[in-house]
Amino acid sequence: MPQDSAATGAPGLPEAITPRMIEPSLLNALPHYLPLGIFPLIFTAILYGGWWLLPPFLFFATVGGRVDKLIGLDGRNMDPTRIPERQLRWHNAPVWLWAVLWPPTLIFGMWQILAANPFAVWEDALLALILVTEAQAVFIVGHELVHRRTTWERRLAEFLLASASYPQYATEHVYIHHAQVGTPYDAGSARKGESFWAYLPREIASNLTQSWKVARERLARRQLPVWHASNPFWRYGLGLAFWFGLTYWMGGVWALLVFILLGYGCVFSMKISNYLQHYGLRRVRLPNGRWEKVMPRHSWSADWKYSNWMFFNMQRHADHHAMASRHYPLLQFRNADESPQLPGSYGDLMSVVLWPKRWFRLMDPLVDQWRRRFYPEIEDWSAYDSPVAVSRPEAFDAIVEIFAAEPRLARWIESNPELLDNLQDREFTDLDLPRGFGPDPESESIARRGLTRLYWTREMDVAEMRGQIAEIPMADAGDAAETLRNWSNDKAFQVGMHVVRGNLSPDEAKIALSNLAEASIVTVLSAVVADFVDRRGPLGEGGLAAIFLGDLASREAFPETRLELLLVHDGLSPANSEHLCRRFRETLASLGRNSLLFSHSPRDVEKNTRIVTMPLDELAGFRSDPGTKLADLSGARCVYETGNSPVGSRSREILEQIRENGAGAKPSPGPVQHDPEG
């Protein structure tokens, strides 16, 4: 469906064309010599400056949407099944010539700017801009040559890429991008909804780290050390040393810094192309756990004639991924039945990419259209579009499972992807038994659920949890709140995953989460009291009790449950009771901040936390009244007491009297955690 160019900032989708076959010949190759026309213009500009700087800019201005629309679409194909590569010499010659002409052109231009210095400052600036603009083609020619079979062509590509300070592209592109394109493992495949500005730093960082990792692993498979001479990073280093050393010799350290900066300006342009070539397109995970085969549908295509001439058929990216070793003249035009079509040429879209809202408005409907056309059976793509799939691709199956079954857990792993590490813990894997261990799936399910239920509702009770917590070093109450928040998040996530997989029922999960909440809160309260005793001395004859309210009291806790607590004090001085209760509030609020168990963001802490304090005599005079804020005391449960006062036993007696008055359902009292005053 054509797009409105006024609304999107780019022209509509090109009309469908019927490919026509051509033969390799000098006449058919001649248009691809057009990129070489820039070299005499640049050499003239380097020699004479002044008005001779204008022609290169006029040449650059032809590369864009206007000339493409004037000349139209291409649609010419060669038959790769019957044309051997040796017949492509006329087509290969412009690529080789560009690769040979560029290094002396760049060196001559740098000499004129940095060493000879025959021009004014403004002429130097314009000449540098000309060189940087043309240097962007390094990645077009370098990309073509890194896929060649002959060693000298690949080495020439590496030398060209080093002139843009980016030789590791030769490893990353071939061994990572092509192998993993369209999957979360490939940083070069932008997910739907990811802006270019979020994509760029992640892509650059991944290119360097992953290319080194691949080089190291390839050497290890050959049982060679990482410093072996065949490590390509030695060649990359030599290429960089040549260009950096030459620049430093001509202009010093500041010239070197500018050279590197301008090189990454070329990288910036290349990353724009990478971004738009695969934006939003994903290979589907198959039932056997493998990704589907790379097909033309996993890359965006365009086939504008002038851009094909100038960029060596770079727009035919879909066929390039289907057959990466094909020389550029053999790349096939793929129509909309095989590959999604870009709504314009690369020149049209490269400026739109920089404005995320315009880009999303233009491309997201086309991505949705592609999904409906090629994958009508998939209704929910949220896992594929989530950033957590990019940060944790090894857990993709679990991510899909979570997004399909539990939106709350999906939100949590998006902001806390480290939670997925818990799925590898023995505590989880020993219960989540692998498939195929039993005589039939039903028996396996019964065994898996039985083990999980026994562990989380019986073995992993409050006492066991507090025993595990006691082994974790904690410096003070603040540290305890942070430590227990992370610990309880890990445990709550495991419980949630057992619910997703049917190993626990929701009611069984409530028991486990209630135990988690009680163990965490009681430990935090104990840590606050320990801090108080350490700094102010013993509580004396006074004491304090903590009473659960609401879902915590009834053992019906759930993810993001409200933290409701009544603190009852007796026999404490006003200063001590005020200080303790204030520290309880602060530390429990910290426990609930960014907690999967109690609240899901810092802004919700106050809304999801209700902590009420009162003296024991006030609780003794309390009578359940539907109009009061503590009408739910009929189901309250005392879980913690400290000090020498019988505040805990008296509180339980009062709560029992309230229940006997018929103000609510009978609760399950549970054990009371008692801490003496140290």
Q: Where are the domains of the chain?
A: 24-371, 382-424, 441-675
For 9: left if phi > 0, alpha if psi spans -120 to 50, otherwise beta; the answer is: left
Q: How far is Cα 78 from Cα 81, in angstroms, rounded to an integer?
A: 9
d(CA 193, CA 385): 7
| Crossing angle between the packed helical segments 232-278 and 196-221, to the nearest 10 degrees | 140
- DSSP string over 177-236: IHHHTTSTT-TTSPPTT--HHHHHHHHHHHHHHHHHHHHHHHHHHTT--TTSTT-HHHHH
| Distance between CA atoms of residues 197 and 356, nearest Å | 8
- Residues in the chain where the model's pLDDT stays below 50: 1-13, 600-606, 624-628, 663-670, 676-678
Phi, psi of 219 (to 5 degrees): -70, -40
Task: Give the other-Cβ count within 10 Å of 65's Cβ.
Answer: 21
* DSSP conformational letter for 627: T
Q: What tokens appear for 594 in the block?
A: 């960014």
Please give the Cα distance from 58 to 41 (Å, whole number).
10
With CA atoms as reference, report the closest residue to 110 among 96, 93, 130, 92.
130
Residue 47 tokens read as 């020699």
Residues in the chain: 678
Instruction: Give yes or no for a contact between 553 and 667, defined as CB atoms under 8 angstroms apart.
Output: yes
DSSP summary character for residue 10: S
Q: What distance in Å separates the CA atoms of residue 378 and residue 381, rounded to the nearest whole number?
A: 7
From CA 200, how far away is CA 138, in angstroms rounded? 19
In the three-class reduction of DSSP (H, G, I as helix; E, B as strand; rest coil), residue 291 is classed as strand
What per-residue confidence (pLDDT) applies to 667? 38
Check: CB of residue 419 under 8 Å from CB of residue 490: yes
Neighbours of 290 (CB within 10 A): 9
Q: Is 670 helix (H, G, I), strand (E, B) or coil?
A: coil
Q: Which two tokens stand for residue 90?
A: 């006329």
Q: Say which residue the tokens 């898996």 belong to.
A: 448
Closest-CA residue to 31 (of 75, 86, 90):
90
d(CA 327, CA 145): 9
Q: Which two tokens stand for residue 222?
A: 């050959």
d(CA 66, CA 126): 24
> How far is the C-alpha of 463 from the C-alpha of 150, rounded, in Å?
68
Please report, for the chain, how many H helices and E strands are present, in that order.
31, 7
Q: Which of 297, 326, 291 is nearest to 180 (CA)?
A: 291
Q: How many Cα atoms are found within 13 Å in the side-chain-facing hemisphere of 50?
A: 4
Q: pLDDT tens digit string along 373-388?
A: 999 999 899 999 999 9
The amino acid at 244: F
* Spatial CB neighbours of 177, under 8 Å, sequence gap ≥ 6: 186, 188, 189
Q: Which of 492, 334, 466 is nearest to 413 (CA)?
A: 492
Neighbour-count burial of 275, counting CB atoms closer than 10 A to its CB (0-12 exposed, 13-18 middle, 19+ buried) = buried
Instruction: Please tell me the distance from the alpha carbon of residue 324 to that of residue 331, in angstroms, as a whole number.
Output: 9
- The Cα–Cα gap between 4 and 10 comes to 8
Give the DSSP H or E segment for 642: strand 637-643
Question: What distance in Å separates the CA atoms of residue 99 and residue 141, rounded to the nearest whole number?
Answer: 7
So what's the pLDDT on residue 674?
54
**For the structural domain made of 441-675, what CATH number should be given?**
3.30.460.10
Of 365, 330, 334, 346, the C-alpha closest to 274 is 346
CB 171 within 8 A of CB 162: no
How confident is the model at residue 7, as a pLDDT?
Answer: 38
- Judge whether 619 and 568 are in contact, CB under 8 Å: yes
User: What are the DSSP E strand ranges found in 553-668?
Assistant: 563-570, 609-615, 637-643
Which uninterrupted H or E stretch holds 567? Answer: strand 563-570
CA angle 286, 288, 290 (to 5 degrees): 60
Q: What are phi and psi of 98, to 5 degrees?
A: -60, -45
Q: At 275, is the secondary structure helix, strand, or coil?
A: helix
